[in-house]
Chains A and B, each alone.
Chain A
């Protein structure tokens, strides 16, 4: 099936540092979404992107929909301990029935 390549797989950073993660695919997507999942919880939507080139912010989070429509990145500025969790990218293929394909996740650890 379709695959999203998400990297890095994990990150261990110091509080206050900026973080960057990305997803790439060989296929074109018409929607990119970024989710965060805390232990024992369902994924929570952070940012949704609908147009190639779109750059959207949500507080300290910024995400972009790549111009080629085959990639997206998520940046977190000035990380804090509560940023810890697993971040997933997800994309929707054109013509799909509305379901999302998920990346394998980036596990973020923040050292105070």
Chain B
């Protein structure tokens, strides 16, 4: 497994602002992902964070709205840009420790409320 730290754990944001969420892992991992969990809902993949290159986004998510960085094998950021109340969600960083299949481990999430 891996220890995954996310910051901030929660925040209240104003409409139109942007917020960057950080994800730090205690060991090098092969894959990092960002998920969104809207209130009372399941988890939806936003993008795969690729080390040293542009993230791979899922349908319905775009780089301008959710820019992602992954400068190395232990760290990634997700920015939620120009926020609206519809962006109020839990944003979760997840990692796969080795290989391309198998278990994903999750951080505790960043709960954003947009007013």
Residues on A lying within 8 angstroms of B by beta carbon are 1, 30-31, 33, 35, 40-45, 48, 50, 88, 90, 92, 97-105
Q: A31-B102, A88-B43, A103-B42 are in contact. Are A98 and B48 (CB under 8 A)?
A: yes
Residue contact A99 to B106, C-beta cutoff 8 Å: no
Residues on B lying within 8 angstroms of A by beta carbon are 1, 4, 30-31, 33, 41-45, 48, 56, 58-59, 92, 94, 96, 100-109, 111
Residue contact A97 to B48, C-beta cutoff 8 Å: yes
Q: A98-B31, A98-B48, A99-B48 are in contact. Are A42 and B104 (CB under 8 A)?
A: no
Most chain-A CB neighbours within 10 Å: which of B4, B44, B94, B104?
B104
Query: A92 CA to B103 CA in the complex, in Å?
Result: 10
Residue contact B42 to A104, C-beta cutoff 8 Å: yes
Residue contact A41 to B31, C-beta cutoff 8 Å: no
Query: A9 CA to B101 CA in the complex, in Å?
Result: 27
Which residue from chain A places its CB closest to the CB of B92 in the assembled complex?
A: A42
